[in-house]
């Protein structure tokens, strides 16, 4: 219920998004009509269509994206014709007979008919829903990511409906207010006809904006600055209140949150034979959902491994559930190699099918579940931080299990490189995905051409958190692959650390690269995976730390140029 409310409020905030401007003329064309028979069907059509298309796009892959492109063009033709009938009613007389009939019906739907047809309004709403490109802020991004990970479900569709309903609510309020203004203007002679023509012209401008990509380009970039902060603040407040309640929990009276689900869904186990919920009875268990290219997961590992070492002899079993975010993380060989480098020596279940993830109804990387000796989940924590309380929970559950002389001291984690904690107080750049399925703030020209080779150009003056590519790239659903040497990726960021998940070409051949910060070699701001002159090499599929700023943090323009073709880029993360 909390997520539904959060999704709804996120949708309400879209009314202040500049990227929704091209859609507004289609909505305001219904002003002056009875709301129940005209405006409401339009908004319902918008909400249902958006939720359906977004649900399919989240789980259906590239074919849905391509199909939706054709639907958008058909919708543009339909809405353009509707706008022309508002602007130039006489135009219908000059068209052929079939188009005359269509034009007449559209004119009636636009307001010539004293009894507007709900079906016509709903049809216009369906077309508008296909054209609606809402700004994917933190809330919508969370919903779409969850849908992509967990597959098609009623829950993800309900969340998208809640988001769409929130946007429809704010548009409904604007529509009702606009109707009052329209009614007042109609009292003046000729004002109604004048307003009709203005709305028709505005609709045509909206069609041009959407057809030229302005809605997903410039306006979407501006929108991120205007609504992303509002949505993120809303998320932080809700999550903050949740964390505050956990912090007030009496650790001697931890509630039972459920039973340890089955662990049978793992496709493979590393560092251990397969473990079962029944076989773990009598042990205190810590389940850690992670994936080896996730920066948040990497920063929690020093604590997880230290707890595993400290409490192993007292009955604690730590189990890492590796649920991959990217396709290359499904390779058990890649996971094994990463575990050796990271010092992970406890059991790890390879959860490539997300079976264990779904059994826990989990939604986060990292996520920690604490299980008592009777097989009951007694505590959980999502994300980084709260390490002291988490360790105290381990100690309490061990005492409940009958272990005496449990050390009440807390570990001091030794973290360096990418595992060092983030500078959260001065980090203003969000995790950013390169693949089109979850990309935000893409500022190169032209706009993304899904699953096609195209030549792109970086923006000359990117705003904060805008990014792009340059050269010949094929941008897929989860990564961008360089087709020819000399390609670049740029990002204007504000954070101490910048990381980029990269992988070499399909043949595994290393890819050389050069990093620049504000057009210069990084020098003492270089990350652990590059030299002070900015040079480095992509040798395997993993997260690369490219920037670590010393001293005060400020806005900088990051550029990485690849000297060889074939590299794949997946996601930016910051710290």
In the predicted model, what is the mean pLDDT of residues 135-140?
47
Annotated domain spans of the chain: 2-234, 249-419, 425-574
In the predicted model, what is the mean pLDDT of residues 48-63?
57
Helix (H), strand (E) at residue 455: strand 453-456
Output the CA–CA distances (angstroms, integers) from residue 44 to 111, 156, 161, 162, 514, in the order listed.
19, 18, 10, 12, 51
- 3-class DSSP assignment, residue 547: strand
- pLDDT of amino acid 258: 93
CATH number of 425-574: 2.60.120.260
- pLDDT of amino acid 217: 41
Helix (H), strand (E) at residue 2: helix 2-12
- pLDDT of amino acid 477: 93
- 3-class DSSP assignment, residue 61: coil
- pLDDT of amino acid 123: 73
- pLDDT of amino acid 361: 92
In the predicted model, what is the mean pLDDT of residues 275-298?
95
- 3-class DSSP assignment, residue 103: helix
CB 503 within 8 A of CB 541: yes
- pLDDT of amino acid 97: 45
Position 133 pLDDT exceeds 50:
no
- pLDDT of amino acid 256: 92
- pLDDT of amino acid 493: 97
- Of the two residues 528 and 240, the one the predictor is more confident about is 528
Structure-derived torsion over alpha carbons of residues 337, 339, 345, 348, reported in degrees to the nearest 10: -100
In the predicted model, what is the mean pLDDT of residues 345-372?
95
Position 221 pLDDT exceeds 50:
no
Position 169 pLDDT exceeds 70:
yes
In the predicted model, what is the mean pLDDT of residues 234-253?
48
Closest CA to 50 of 143, 154, 121, 132: 132
- Residue 367 carries which DSSP code? E
- Of the two residues 26 and 268, the one the predictor is more confident about is 268
Can you tell me the distance from the alpha carbon of 72 to that of 11, in angstroms, rounded to the nearest whole number? 21
Position 203 pLDDT exceeds 70:
no
- pLDDT of amino acid 94: 52
Question: How wide is the angle at C-alpha 340 spanned by C-alphas 334 and 344, nearest 5°?
Answer: 105
- pLDDT of amino acid 46: 73
Closest CA to 344 of 352, 356, 336, 334: 336
pLDDT interval class at 242 (50, 70, 90): very low
CB 430 within 8 A of CB 138: yes
In the predicted model, what is the mean pLDDT of residues 171-200?
59
Residues 291-329: pLDDT tens digits?
999 999 999 999 999 999 999 999 999 999 999 999 999
pLDDT interval class at 405 (50, 70, 90): confident
Residues 87-114: pLDDT tens digits?
665 654 454 344 445 444 544 544 444 4
- pLDDT of amino acid 5: 77
Query: Around Cβ 31, how many Cβ atoms within 10 Å?
Result: 24
Q: Which residues make Cβ contacts (< 8 Å) with residue 527, sequence separation at least 6?
A: 497, 498, 499, 544, 545, 546, 547, 548
Position 117 pLDDT exceeds 70:
no
Residues 330-353: pLDDT tens digits?
999 999 999 999 999 999 999 999
- Mean pLDDT (the chain, rounded): 78
In the predicted model, what is the mean pLDDT of residues 270-290?
96
In the predicted model, what is the mean pLDDT of residues 475-492?
96
Question: What residues are paired with 556 via a beta bridge?
Answer: 493
Question: Global pTM?
Answer: 0.59
Pairing of strands 542-548, 497-503: antiparallel
pLDDT interval class at 181 (50, 70, 90): low
In the predicted model, what is the mean pLDDT of residues 353-379?
95
Question: What residues are paired with 503 via a beta bridge?
Answer: 568
- pLDDT of amino acid 304: 96
- pLDDT of amino acid 16: 57
- pLDDT of amino acid 244: 37
Can you tell me the distance from the alpha carbon of 342 to that of 250, in angstroms, rounded to the nearest whole number? 34
Residue 302 phi, psi (nearest 5): -55, -35
Position 529 pLDDT exceeds 50:
yes
In the predicted model, what is the mean pLDDT of residues 181-202?
55
CATH class of 249-419: alpha beta
- Of the two residues 310 and 44, the one the predictor is more confident about is 310
97-101, 168-172, 227-231, 260-264: which has the highest mean pLDDT?
Answer: 260-264
- pLDDT of amino acid 404: 85
In the predicted model, what is the mean pLDDT of residues 460-474?
96
Residues 418-449: pLDDT tens digits?
888 777 678 899 999 999 999 999 999 999 99
Helix (H), strand (E) at residue 210: helix 191-211
Residues 139-166: pLDDT tens digits?
455 555 455 444 445 666 677 778 778 8
Runs of H (alpha helix) within 332-433: 332-342, 355-359, 387-400
Helix (H), strand (E) at residue 481: strand 480-482
pLDDT interval class at 416 (50, 70, 90): confident
The DSSP line for 483-541 is: -STT-EEEEEE-SSEEEEEEE--TT---EEEEEEETTB--GGGB-TTS-TTSEEEE-SS
């Amino acid at each position: 219920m909390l997520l539904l409310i959060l999704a709804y409020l996120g949708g309400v905030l879209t009314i202040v998004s500049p990227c929704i401007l091209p859609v507004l003329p289609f909505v305001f064309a219904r002003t002056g009509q009875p709301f129940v028979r005209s405006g409401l069907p339009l908004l319902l059509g918008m909400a249902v269509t958006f939720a359906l298309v977004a649900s399919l796009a989240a789980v259906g892959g590239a074919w849905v994206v391509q199909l939706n492109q054709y639907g958008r063009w058909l919708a543009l033709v339909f809405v353009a014709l509707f706008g022309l009938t508002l602007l130039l009613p006489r135009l219908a007389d000059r068209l052929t007979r079939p188009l005359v009939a269509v034009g007449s019906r559209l004119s009636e739907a636009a307001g010539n008919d004293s009894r507007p047809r709900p079906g016509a309004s709903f049809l216009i709403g369906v077309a508008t829903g296909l054209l609606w490109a809402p700004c994917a802020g933190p809330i919508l991004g969370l919903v779409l990511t969850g849908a992509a990970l967990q597959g098609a479900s009623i829950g993800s569709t309900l969340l998208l409906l809640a988001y769409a309903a929130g946007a429809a609510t704010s548009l409904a309020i604007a529509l009702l207010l606009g109707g009052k203004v329209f009614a007042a203007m109609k009292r003046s002679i000729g004002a109604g006809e004048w307003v009709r023509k203005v709305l028709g012209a505005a609709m045509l401008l909206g069609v041009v904006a959407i057809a030229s990509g302005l809605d997903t380009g410039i306006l979407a970039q501006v929108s991120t600055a205007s609504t992303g902060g509002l949505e993120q603040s809303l998320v932080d407040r809700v999550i903050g209140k949740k964390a505050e309640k956990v912090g007030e929990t009496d650790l001697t009276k931890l509630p039972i949150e459920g039973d340890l689900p089955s662990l049978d869904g793992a496709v493979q186990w590393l560092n251990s034979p397969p473990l079962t919920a029944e076989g773990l009875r009598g042990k205190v268990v810590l389940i850690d959902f992670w994936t080896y290219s996730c920066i948040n997961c990497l920063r929690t590992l020093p604590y997880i491994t230290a707890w595993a070492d400290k409490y192993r002899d007292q009955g604690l079993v730590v189990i890492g559930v590796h649920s991959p975010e990217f396709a290359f993380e499904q390779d058990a060989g890649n996971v094994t190699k990463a575990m050796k480098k990271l010092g992970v020596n406890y059991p790890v279940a390879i959860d490539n099918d997300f079976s264990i993830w779904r059994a826990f109804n989990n939604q986060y990387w990292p996520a920690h579940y604490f299980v008592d000796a009777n097989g009951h989940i007694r505590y959980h924590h999502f994300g980084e931080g709260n390490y002291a309380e988490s360790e105290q929970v381990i100690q309490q559950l061990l005492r409940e299990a009958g272990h005496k002389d449990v050390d009440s001291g807390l570990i001091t984690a030794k973290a360096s490189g990418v595992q060092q904690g983030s500078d959260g107080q001065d980090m203003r750049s969000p995790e950013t995905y390169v693949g089109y399925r979850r990309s935000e703030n893409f500022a190169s020209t032209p706009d993304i051409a899904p699953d096609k080779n195209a030549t792109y150009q970086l923006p000359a003056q990117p705003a904060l958190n805008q990014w792009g590519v340059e050269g010949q790239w094929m941008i897929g659903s989860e990564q961008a692959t360089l087709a020819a040497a000399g390609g670049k990726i740029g990002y204007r960021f504000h954070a101490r650390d910048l990381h980029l998940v990269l992988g070499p070409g399909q043949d595994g051949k290393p890819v050389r690269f050069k990093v620049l910060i504000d057009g210069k070699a990084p020098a003492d701001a270089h990350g652990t995976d590059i030299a002070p002159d900015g040079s480095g090499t992509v040798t395997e599929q993993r997260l690369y730390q490219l920037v670590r700023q010393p001293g005060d943090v400020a806005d900088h323009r990051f550029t990485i140029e690849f000297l060889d073709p074939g590299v794949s880029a997946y996601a930016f993360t910051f710290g």
